[in-house]
Chains A and B, each alone.
Chain A
Amino acid sequence: MRELKYREAIDEATRQAMAKDERVFVMGVGVSDPKGIFGTTRGAFEQFGGDRVFDTPLSEAALTGMGVGAAMRGFHPLLVHARNDFLLLTMDQIVNNAAKWRYMCGGKLKVPLTIRAIIGRGWGQAAQHSQSLQAMFAHVPGLAVIMPTTPADAKGLLMTALSSDCPVICLEHRWLYDKSGPVPEDPYYTPLGVGAVVRPGRDVTIVAMSHMVLEALQAAEILAGEGIEAEVIDPRSLRPLDSALICRSAARTGRLVIADTGWRSYGVSAEIAARAAEELWGVLKAPIRRVALPDLPTPGSSALESAYYPGPPAIVAAVKQCLEAPASAVTDPVAPSSRKEFEGPF
């Protein structure tokens, strides 16, 4: 099958959704500038023009409210933010309006609105350009939250979001943008709330999201070298969450490790662990283990960054704890392979 980069898959999904539905339009800071959000919106601008793909002032709150209003009137705005940290400027519009309007008016109006935002990492982007805020949004009833990992899922999930009649937050890890993978050319729709088994295994279940899926796969390779077969599950959407898939797998392997791109406390890893604990009391053979960011703002220096992000060795170590196996013989810290590849742009 034809291969596309993640960024190209997003571009293709956007253009195909716009071609199929004239109510879809794109707005955001920088969407029609020459860089077009790392190439994800420029193609739509060139194909559909400035009436349907337009740049905006740096007024994220008003912009989001404008999207909610247009959505209430039958359009489907796609708002794009170059960092998900900027979503914090728009929390009233997302949480109090987008997520609640349909419910507050008894279903008379709907808010079909998709918001894309990028998670930064590395290159010293520090505390305000690297946050992974999925837990904040996944906490809110009325929102859907997706975190596509592969180019195919980026296209399929975004197509679904853009044809949905509810607000969807799509969080994209910047380190995934140049990864390639097979992507069907025709439009297709990956359902929300359906996770994927990205590597089958019998000894332990690793649930990972976004870039952590790639790190979990690296960890699984290391573990396989030691005779441990890890099953890696990518939930793909966090709200709705495919709890059934996770619980089925963990019931079979008896062990569950969760690898989150966000902070440890009160995060998605805690929610998944809670659901598994509720369902699998007496079935799991070991305590659930979590791999997540320490409860700290992201540091700027690359030396501190290396200590901050857990990476594949931490996943390996968590699996070993579950299995009560001796620590891995790997002495060199194994960095996620993306770190060497990624040199911007930012």
Chain B
Amino acid sequence: MKRTAGKRTRSSKPRRRAAALKRDAGLRGLAPELLVDLYVTMRRIRRAEETIAALYPEQEIRCPTHLSLGQEAGAAGVCLALRTTDTAVSTHRCHAHYIAKGGDLRAMFAELYGRATGCCGGKGGSMHLTAPEVGMLGASAIVGGSVPLALGTALAARMAGTDEVAVAFFGDAGMEQGVTHESLALAALRRLPVLFVCENNLYATATPLRTRQAGSDMAPRAAGHWLPGVTVDGNDVVAVYRAARTAVERARRGQGPTLIEVKTYRFREHVGPNYDIDLGYRTQAELDRWMAREPVAALARRLERGGVLPSARREALDAQIEADVADAVAFAKSSPFPEPAALYADVE
């Protein structure tokens, strides 16, 4: 069967793929392997987090865990427009950014389980995932707190004479912090190679955006600080990728920062594994509308239609992700806890 498929590829598949891609203008000009990577990255985030949610009731993951389920496209679309040497800083909701930036899955699960083999040696937990080897420089659990760090890594890149860019991920509530506005203005002033990626998921904990801000859009905030602001459908990973790529190219050319507003939605509660419709701050109908537009299955359908990722290959990739996640969980659970002496290491 495999041989037959191979034969077909050599004869008619490229033409059919071209025809399919022509019908889906959004995919035009993007390398098939990139599109597959976008899918794999989102799927990896999805399955890692669904696994966390499933395991959380065991109470072995003993740290506050903010899931990005539903928001996978922002992390994947932005991070796949980056090189490994580019840097990112994130928020309390940082699993997706860590995975998309290329952070090791075993080290992430081990960190959630508080083990010595965790990416922070068990000292950070869910909200501070760090993998400097792939440019993931960590996360602050103070809303807006990590945004200016990206200015510093961008400044360091410039002073070191590299063309690295820096990403600050934050949310719609991060836009309410003074330091974020200071950072937008300072990055624009110094034309720093920064992508400000505001994932607008409409809620800060259980407080809706409309009770916190006079408008619903984040991108226009950029104009007042003299940098470009763009809005992108945050559940369309290809659109996110294109916006990020444009901003990255601009930053590498020395033309300064861009604010990208990624409009998206989180499915689960603010922190924890559950759905929280019963709290009454949002409706089941709203959740259903967004779930109908969830980004992972949407891309899978699109890539299958486009002939980029046939179901057989997707299933093989999915199986590998399942194996990777299971391996990461097993690794975490079998890893040792930190020795008490570690308490006193890594400070002063």
Binding site for B on A (CB under 8 A): 25, 51, 56-57, 59, 61-75, 77, 92-93, 96-97, 101-109, 141-144, 166, 239-240
* Chain B residue with Cβ nearest A72: B137
Cβ contact of A106, chosen from B89, B124, B160, cutoff 8 A: B124
Cβ contact of B185, chosen from A25, A57, A69, A101, cutoff 8 A: A57
A61-B178, A240-B348 known; A104 vs B128 contact (CB < 8 Å): yes
A141 to B154, CA, bound (A): 27
| B148 and A73 contacting across the interface, CB-CB below 8 Å | no
Which residues in window 65-89 of B have CB below 8 A to A?
Answer: 87, 89
Q: Across the interface, which residues of B come within 8 angstroms of A69, CB to CB?
A: 89, 137, 148-156, 166
A109-B138, A142-B347 known; A73 vs B118 contact (CB < 8 Å): no
Task: Tell whether B279 is near chain A: CB-to-CB under 8 Å.
Answer: no
| A105 and B120 contacting across the interface, CB-CB below 8 Å | yes
Which residues in window 152-179 of B have CB below 8 A to A?
Answer: 152-157, 159-160, 166, 178-179
Task: Tell whether B51 is near chain A: CB-to-CB under 8 Å.
Answer: no
A143 to B89, CA, bound (A): 22
A64 to B155, CA, bound (A): 13
Q: Across the interface, which residues of B come within 8 angstroms of A96, CB to CB?
A: 140, 142, 145
| B124 and A105 contacting across the interface, CB-CB below 8 Å | yes
* Chain B residue with Cβ nearest A193: B348
A102 to B137, CA, bound (A): 11
Q: Across the interface, which residues of A come within 8 angstroms of B189, CB to CB?
A: 57
A39 to B121, CA, bound (A): 44
* Chain B residue with Cβ nearest A93: B148
Task: Tell whether B182 is near chain A: CB-to-CB under 8 Å.
Answer: yes
Q: How far is the CB of A95 from chain B (nearest CB, A)?
A: 10
Q: How far is the CB of A26 from chain B (nearest CB, A)?
A: 12
| B185 and A107 contacting across the interface, CB-CB below 8 Å | no
Q: Which 3 A-B pairs have the closest CB atoms?
A: A69-B152, A65-B148, A106-B121
Interface residues as binary, B122-146 with A (CB distance below 8 Å gives 1, 0 otherwise): 1110001010100001101010011
Q: Across the interface, which residues of B come within 8 angstroms of A61, CB to CB?
A: 148, 178-179, 182
| B156 and A70 contacting across the interface, CB-CB below 8 Å | yes
A66-B151, A96-B145 known; A75 vs B156 contact (CB < 8 Å): yes
A305 to B280, CA, bound (A): 56
Q: Across the interface, which residues of B come within 8 angstroms of A72, CB to CB?
A: 137, 149, 152-153, 156
| A166 and B348 contacting across the interface, CB-CB below 8 Å | yes
Supply 27 A–B pairs (Cβ within 8 Å), ascending by A.
Answer: A51-B159, A56-B186, A57-B189, A59-B182, A61-B182, A62-B183, A63-B148, A65-B147, A65-B149, A68-B149, A69-B137, A70-B152, A70-B155, A72-B137, A73-B87, A73-B156, A75-B155, A75-B159, A92-B179, A93-B145, A96-B145, A103-B347, A106-B119, A106-B121, A106-B122, A108-B132, A240-B348
Q: How far is the CB of A112 from chain B (nearest CB, A)?
A: 12
* Chain B residue with Cβ nearest A51: B159
A59 to B189, CA, bound (A): 12
Task: Tell whether B346 is near chain A: CB-to-CB under 8 Å.
Answer: yes
Task: Tell whether B345 is near chain A: CB-to-CB under 8 Å.
Answer: yes
Cβ contact of B179, chosen from A65, A109, A141, cutoff 8 A: A65
Q: Across the interface, which residues of A come within 8 angstroms of B346, CB to CB?
A: 102-103, 106-107
Q: Across the interface, which residues of B come within 8 angstroms of A68, CB to CB?
A: 148-149, 152
* Chain B residue with Cβ nearest A113: B152
| B152 and A65 contacting across the interface, CB-CB below 8 Å | yes
A97 to B179, CA, bound (A): 13
Q: Across the interface, which residues of B come within 8 angstroms of A103, CB to CB?
A: 123, 346-347
Known contacts A66-B148, A104-B120, A106-B119, then 13 further A-B pairs from the complex at CB < 8 Å, ordered by chain A residue: A62-B147, A62-B186, A64-B148, A66-B155, A68-B148, A69-B89, A69-B149, A70-B153, A73-B152, A75-B156, A93-B148, A102-B347, A105-B120
Q: Across the interface, which residues of A come within 8 angstroms of B166, CB to CB?
A: 69
Which residues in window 330-348 of B have CB below 8 A to A?
Answer: 345-348
Cβ contact of B186, chosen from A63, A74, A97, A107, cutoff 8 A: A63
| A62 and B119 contacting across the interface, CB-CB below 8 Å | no
Q: How far is the CB of A97 from chain B (nearest CB, A)?
A: 6
Q: How far is the CB of A49 from chain B (nearest CB, A)?
A: 12
Q: Across the interface, which residues of A come within 8 angstroms of B183, CB to CB?
A: 59, 62, 65-66
A141 to B347, CA, bound (A): 7
Q: Across the interface, which residues of B come within 8 angstroms of A59, CB to CB?
A: 182-183, 185-186
Q: How far is the CB of B130 from chain A (nearest CB, A)?
A: 4
Q: How far is the CB of B167 from chain A (nearest CB, A)?
A: 12
A62 to B123, CA, bound (A): 26
Cβ contact of B130, chosen from A77, A92, A108, cutoff 8 A: A108
Q: How far is the CB of B195 from chain A (nearest CB, A)?
A: 14
